[in-house]
Amino acid sequence: MDSRGAGRCEIDVSDRLIVALDFSRSGEARSFVDTLGSSVGFYKIGLELFMAGGYFELLEWLVARGKKVFVDLKFFDVPETVKGAVRGLRNRGVTFATVHGNQAILEAAGKEKGDVKILAVTALTSLDRGDLDDLGFQCDIERLVLSRARRALEAGCDGIISSGLEAPMIRYELGGKILVVTPGIRPVDNTSIDDQKRTVDVAQAFVNGADYIVVGRPIRNAPDPKKAAISIQNTISTFWTRQ
């Protein structure tokens, strides 16, 4: 079976890179976006910026500049509360939003998504087997991710957040029925000390079945962030032009 899955070629190549704006201040995020310029068109804004203040102003600022926005707040609460939170994102220019939790929570998000695509979190890429044991999950990571992917699809979600290590299994079992967004990307072998444990490099993520990748520190901490972003975009373009 083709690991790409049906419909995976329909996404604009330049949008397949999502850059994480992991900053403690909105001003820092805006400055970074200006630094990257036209090299990146899709950004993820998460909890750190949410707590810093000015979150929705930043969201609107990005949308006004023609950028796509991934709201990564991992909504996890009673279904009615999640439903209201997702409803509040509609008609704001948000492309993706993440939801965590059980079937009822995912279904609530799916019913209220409107123009927002809902991504269900499977297993964070910062978790390894030992971490899952601590959390009480007695199945292996692959079975857990596949189970959550199937449930997300049934609940009306558009995609999942999945490590590139589990993406081939998702594609084999579900084909192109669901979007796969892969964080934990490292341009080379992950020998650095950080909180990402289950990682793949850029090209391997797409070989394994990802539709989008999320990259943060490898771009943000590069000597020349724009050059690093362009290099990743070139790798993505090369991969997809060969398909």
Active site amino acids: 74
Q: Which residues pair with 94 in a beta bridge?
A: 69
Selection from 89, 51, 36, 11 nearest residue 222 by Cα? 36
Task: List Cβ neighbours of 124 (8 Å cut-off, separation of 6 or more).
Answer: none
